[in-house]
Amino acid sequence: MTHQFPALSPEQKKALSDIAQRIVASGKGILAADESVGTMGNRLQKINVENTEENRRAFREILFSSDASINQSIGGVILFHETLYQKDSSGKPFPVLIKEKGIVVGIKLDKGTAPLAGTNGETTIQGKEKSKYDDDKRCAQYKKDGADFGKWRAVLKITSTTPSQLAIQENANTLARYASICQQHGLVPIVEPEILPDGDHDLQRCQYVTEKVLAAVYKALNDHHVYLEGTLLKPNMVTAGHSCPKKYTPQDVAVATVTTLLRTVPAAVPGICFLSGGQSEEEASLNLNAMNQSPLPKPWKLTFSYGRALQASALAAWVGKSENKKAAQEAFRKRAQINSLACRGQYVVSGKTDAAAMQSLFTASYTY
C-alpha cells in the first residue's frame, strides 16, 4: 500500500479509456449477444429452432448485418467465443463486420459459475482455462482477434441467508482479478456483479444488497489497482424480486437504482450498462428511460447491455426462416433505437406495444 508500481503506462490508460468512452458514447449501449451454446439452446427452443452451430451463426448474422446506422444506438457487441470466429455468408468474419460499422467488439471471458462449498448454494466465477496464466494468454489472443473489451459475470442471489459475506467478498475479488488481467492486455473489463431477481424480496431489500455488493466490488477494484476510467459496470437495476407481491413503477426503480449507484460507484467510471435480467423488452426500456429522466445527478452514462431485452422480438420475427431476415432486423433495430432514446431520457411510449415486447423474459435462477 505504500508505494505505487504502475500497472499501466499512460498510453495503455488512454487506450482503455478511449475504448470505454466509445462504447458508452451518447445514446449508445451494448448488444449482449454472448449467449453460450446452452443458453442459445433455450432461446432457439422457444421458437422451435434446432440449436445447431449454423442456426446460431445465422441468427447472429441477422443482427450483425443490420444497416450501419445501427451504430447510432449500439456502441459495443459482446460475443461468445464460438461467434468471434464465425463468418457471415460472404465469408466476412463477424468481428470485421461489426467493426466496419464503428462498433466495438467484446468477448465473454468467464466460463460460468462454480459452487462455493459451505454456502447456501452460492457461487463464484470461473475462467476459461485451467489457470489464471492461461486467462492471460487467452486475453492476449482475443485482443489479436479483434476484441477490445471483455465481460465477466458474477452471480449473487437474495434469500434470507444470502448473499453471504464470503460470496460477496469472493466474487468481488475475482471480478477485480480478471479486470486487472484484461487491462494488462488492452481489453476494457466490463464488471458484472449480477444480483438475480429471483425471490419475493421487496425493492428496499434489493437496494440494500446492491449497495453492499457494489461497495465490495469497488474496494476490490481499488485493491487490485484497476484503472477505473478504463472499465465499465454492468449491474442489475434495483428491482423487487420476481415474485414480490408489491408492484413498483419505473420511477421507483429509477430512484432506487440511481441512489444505490450514487452511494457506491465512483464518478471516474465512465459508464454503467444495465443488464436486463429477465425484464421484458419494454420494461427494460421504460426503466432505463426513467433513470435518465430522474432529477438525481448522474456523473456516469446510464445505458444498456441487453441480451434478451434487445433480441426477443427479433427472435420471434425470425423463427428460423431466412425469408424473415428483414423483419427480424427491423424488430432489432426498433428495440435498439428505443433503448438509445431511453439512454437520453427521451423515450416516449406511443400507441400499442406488441406482445413480444411485453413478455417477461424471466428464467428462474438464470445462468448463461
Partner 1 sequence: MTHQYPALTAEQKKELSDIALRIVAPGKGILAADESVGSMAKRLNQIGVENTEENRRLYRQVLFSADSRVKKCIGGVIFFHETMYQKADDGTPFVQMIKDKGIVVGIKVDKGVVPLAGTDGETTTQGLDGLSERCAQYKKDGADFAKWRCVLKISDNTPSALAIMENANVLARYASICQQNGIVPIVEPEILPDGDHDLKRCQYVTEKVLAAVYKALSDHHVYLEGTLLKPNMVTPGHSCPTKYSPEEIAMATVTALRRTVPPAVPGVTFLSGGQSEEEASINLNAINTCPLARPWALTFSYGRALQASALSAWRGQRDNASAATEEFVKRAEVNGLAALGKYEGSGDESGAAAQSLYVANH
Contacting residues toward partner 1, per CB under 8 A = 1-4, 158-165, 168, 204-205, 208-209, 211-212, 215-216, 218-219, 222-223, 228, 259, 262-268, 297, 299
Rounded (to 5) percent helix, strand, coil in the chain? 45, 15, 35
Whole-number minimum distance, CB 81 to partner 1, in Å?
A: 32
Helix (H, G, I), strand (E, B) or coil at 316: helix
Active site residue 92: no
Contact 202, 216 (CB under 8 A): no
- The nearest distance, CB 323 to partner 1, in angstroms, is 49
CB of 138 vs partner 1, minimal distance in Å: 28
Output phi, psi for 328, to 5 deg. Answer: -65, -45
In residues, how long is the chain?
368
Residues 6+ apart with CB under 8 A from 216: 168, 169, 172
Kindly name the residue from 170, 234, 283, 301 that is annotated as catalytic.
234
List 35, 61, 192, 281, catalytic entry: 192
Rounded Cα–Cα distance for residues 124 and 224 (Å): 18
Residue number with CB closer to partner 1 (161 or 363): 161
Nearer to partner 1, 31 or 228 (CB): 228
User: From CA 209, how far away is CA 211, in angstroms rounded?
Assistant: 5
Classify residue 98 as exposed, middle or buried by CB count within 10 Å of its CB (0-12, 13-18, 19+).
buried
Q: Which CB sits closer to partner 1, 216 or 336?
A: 216
User: In whole angstroms, how close is the CB of 144 to partner 1 at the nearest point?
Assistant: 30
The number of angstroms, rounded, from the C-alpha of 51 to the middle of its chain's C-alpha atoms is 23
Q: Annotated catalytic, 35?
A: no
Q: Give 248: exposed, middle or buried? Use CB within 10 Å, 0-12, 13-18, 19+.
A: middle
- Give the shortest CB-205-to-partner 1 separation in angstroms: 7
Nearer to partner 1, 116 or 140 (CB): 116
Identify which of residues 176 and 315 has a Cβ nearer to partner 1 in the complex. 176
Q: Please, which residue, 38 or 299, has the CB nearer to partner 1? A: 299
Beta bridge partners of 156: 195
Nearest to 74, CA basis, from 14, 13, 33: 33
Least distance between partner 1 and beta carbon 316 (Å): 38
Question: Where in the sequence numbering do the catalytic residues fall?
Answer: 192, 234
